Structure 1
Amino acid sequence: MKRLRTYFNSLSPAERVSFLADVGTSESYIRKAICVGTIGPRMAIRIERATNGLVTRAELRPDIFGPIDAGQGRAGGVPKPPSTGEPSEGGSTTNLLQRIND
């Protein structure tokens, strides 16, 4: 949940609105899930997709999706999200990932 908290708090207000729409939930639900420390498996999948894999379903629900593979930093059996082949705008994903990992 720490990575989700860091990711969510790093978003601008406009990015939060977009993220919440992609995930299909409210800010209050996300904040409560972070505080309580649990999130539903379907929501975990939607969060993984909305974050392009920066926050994985296995991080959010290791009891369901298995442990993180230390060698690749990914859950066992969870493929890496496909790349669009287009550069990200301003390297925002790279910068965001660096902020989350710091």
Structure 2
Amino acid sequence: MSMTLADFISDRDRRKSLAEAVDASPDYLWQVATGWNGRKPSPKLALRISKATHGLVTVQSMRPDVFGPAANDS
């Protein structure tokens, strides 16, 4: 089962914990999760997020332009 980054970080404590794990600010994670001002996670950040979430948030769901569409999108 996978989930979007926005769903994963909807809980503030979880957002803070993930931010610490991937060396980003909680606010920046929210910006990339919601696409605020066109923001997307870099490919490296997407990989760190996927690893830190144990694959619950996939790189494909965050950056289909780099990693291809998610399996359930095809």
The two structures have a TM-score, normalised by structure 2, of 0.76
Q: Which amino acid aligns with 1:6?
A: D
More helix by share: 2
Equivalent residue, structure 2, for 1:56: 58
Question: What is the number of equivalent residue pairs in this alignment?
Answer: 68
Question: What is the Cα-based RMSD across aligned positions, in Å?
Answer: 2.1
Q: Secondary structure at the match of 2:24?
A: coil
Greater RCO, CA 8 A, separation 6+: 2
Q: Which amino acid aligns with 1:69?
A: A
The two structures have a TM-score, normalised by structure 1, of 0.57
Q: Which runs of 5+ in 1 are unaligned?
A: 74-102
Contact 2:22–2:48 (Cα < 8 Å) also in 1 = yes
- Equivalents in 1 of 2:70, 2:4: separation in Å? 13
- Equivalents in 2 of 1:33, 1:16: separation in Å? 12
Please identify the structure whose Cα radius of gyration is greater.
1
Equivalent residue, structure 2, for 1:44: 46
Q: Which runs of 5+ in 2 are unaligned?
A: none
